[in-house]
A and B are shown apart, each in its own frame.
Chain A
């Protein structure tokens, strides 16, 4: 839409454009205010984004804060070797992958199914009330959400009682035992993101051509048939893009909720790469080791994102780039 507007605007005369073409000085003079404005933004991005990126070199150093990036000793791949030959690498990678697979299998389809169900509701007012209610958990802060979960998982807590009733656990503090961690984490994630995650799918469905449904009605198609043949295909591009983004950010799952929920007694299943980066790198101040692990994680991530994007472009012609 923007583009058509732009096209209608008469272009400045050719010769003035030609005059500008080579002249950087002229360009700067003409737009000095724009450049000044962006300079402020640029300083912020350089200091808080690009300097840290350059700081990744410490993954290959034995970084000492007192010496800084320039003076610290270079150790090559030592930090990576230390990590991979250490006792934690296997456990961390496994935990990160398994937790993410759980989230992918249970957390990813949930908002899609919820959106499909909302989309079938015709009572407009009621539906919007339901939506409002379902978005609410998204606005509860991570700390409070994890606090509620901690309370509910105590030996007499609500979630523990429910699990106990279903024969899934004893009446114990579930967060203290490794076998429950992933289920608890996934349940909390779904609680917080179910409604909110459905927005994007509902928005897409609002653009579906209603004539398609009418045509299907005339052909005598039932509800499931319409969902399968019209609604789902309309959602597919968005689902694919969301899936790529999800897979691409799999390994970078934020440490936040894990750090709030895990305990030393559950590290066996709960400790993931990013929480380890925080614990080893910042809490225990092994800066270089932490950065190395983080870098390894980012590289896997970029690989996953590129791979998912490639596969999706081949298979469905939908992609991020």
Chain B
């Protein structure tokens, strides 16, 4: 099992290490090519990174200076201040949004994982009559869907509108993830399962004692996919929730960052009166506060995400 994980790690390394080619010696043209290539790639990555840096610098800048500032920021505008963060963290919306988001991430991931594992396990078994039908039944939903409104009506008729349950359940299971997991389950050596069956294990025991422990790496990837997906999602909450006590963080962010900017933009056109000078600062702080958890774990888990993308691309 540990060996399997090591194998996965090594695969990732290999993927990164694809250009270690033998070289005899480089001509001048080659050197220019390489130099230009390095510079351009570095520039592209700096451009990718810069918006986040800008937000970070802006969030600890002086509010008034920020309001009047035009153009790029290369360092926090003096005098630096953490006032914005103090205000944002004292905002009850942000706090309750955080708590709700954590609830949705934990229970949503649990629910989605349970169904994904069950589905993937059944689809990975062999020798029962409905296997083809079950596979079709699931895969078809990747190409066809009822769309936004019929789904809404179904949820409404189930009485799930404006409940946490709607956010945890509706649209939670990803068929794509189920197929990826099924592929991983199918790759478990049959000998292991047969040994368990001879020992008298039933299907559920085969799943929990043989399959799950041997596919931990895949499970981890899919847990990550689900939890980041739920953390970042907002559309379902917008459609299904009315009570603000139930709003996840992203919906409050939408109010603070997007809707308010639109409002201000229209005021900007008219007169510019009634503008709150500290607002931009608060917005930048809000972005940092809401994104830091993801960005903190991101460097450690990104290789698993990459692994996940590749598992998905290796369709049978």
Contact = CB atoms under 8 A, between A and B. Distances in A.
Contacts of B159: none
A203 B129 CA distance: 36
Interface string B204-228: 1000000000000000000000001
Interface stretch (A89-97, A98-106, A116-124, A310-318): A116-124
Contact of B146 (A54, A68, A123, A136): A54
B95 interface: no
Interface string B1-38: 00000000000001111111111100001100110011
Interface in A215-248: 217, 222-224, 238
Interface in A269-302: 274, 277-278, 281-282, 287, 290-291, 294-295, 298, 302
Contacts of A127: 16, 19
Contacts, number: 314
A51 B18 CA distance: 47
Interface stretch (B43-51, B76-84, B86-94, B102-110): B43-51
A132 interface: yes
B156 to A, nearest CB: 7
B257 A137 contact: no
Interface residues of A, number: 114
A248 B291 CA distance: 32
A19 interface: no
A28 B243 CA distance: 46
Interface string B145-166: 1111111111011100000000
A224 B2 CA distance: 42
Question: What secondary structure prevails in chain B residues at the interface with A?
Answer: helix
Point out which of B29, B127, B250 has the most chain A C-beta atoms below 10 A from its C-beta. Answer: B127
Contacts of A140: 52, 291, 294
Contact of A148 (B55, B125, B151, B234): B55
Given A265-B266, A282-B239, A147 B145 contact: no
A206 B169 CA distance: 38
A146 B256 CA distance: 12
Contact of A158 (B37, B72, B187, B283): B72
A195 interface: yes
A132 B45 CA distance: 9
B46 to A, nearest CB: 8
B55 A223 contact: no
B148 A290 contact: yes
A199 B309 contact: yes
Point out which of A38, A152, A210 has the most chain B C-beta atoms below 10 A from its C-beta. Answer: A38
Contacts of B69: 156
B268 A114 contact: no
Contacts of B126: 6
A6 B41 contact: no
B15 A206 contact: yes
Given A263-B262, A281-B148, A173 B18 contact: no
Contacts of A161: 70-72
Contact of B283 (A35, A151, A294): A151
B16 A53 contact: no
Contact of A5 (B70, B189, B253): B189
Contacts of B75: none
B196 interface: no
A139 B295 contact: yes
Contacts of A24: 129
A84 interface: no
A253 interface: no
Top 10 A-B residue pairs of the complex, sorted by shortest distance between their CB atoms: A52-B146, A147-B257, A55-B150, A141-B232, A150-B261, A173-B265, A52-B150, A206-B18, A294-B147, A41-B119
Interface of A: 1-2, 5-6, 9, 24, 27, 30-31, 33-35, 37-38, 40-42, 44-45, 47-56, 58, 63, 65, 68, 114, 117-124, 126-128, 130-137, 139-144, 146-148, 150-152, 154-156, 158, 161, 171-173, 175-176, 191, 194-196, 199-200, 202-203, 205-206, 208, 210, 213-214, 217, 222-224, 238, 254-256, 260-261, 263, 265, 274, 277-278, 281-282, 287, 290-291, 294-295, 298, 302, 305
27 contacts: A1-B187, A24-B129, A33-B204, A34-B128, A38-B118, A38-B134, A48-B169, A49-B145, A50-B146, A52-B145, A52-B154, A58-B149, A117-B41, A122-B19, A143-B253, A144-B257, A148-B287, A150-B262, A158-B72, A175-B265, A176-B266, A202-B15, A202-B18, A206-B15, A254-B235, A277-B149, A281-B149
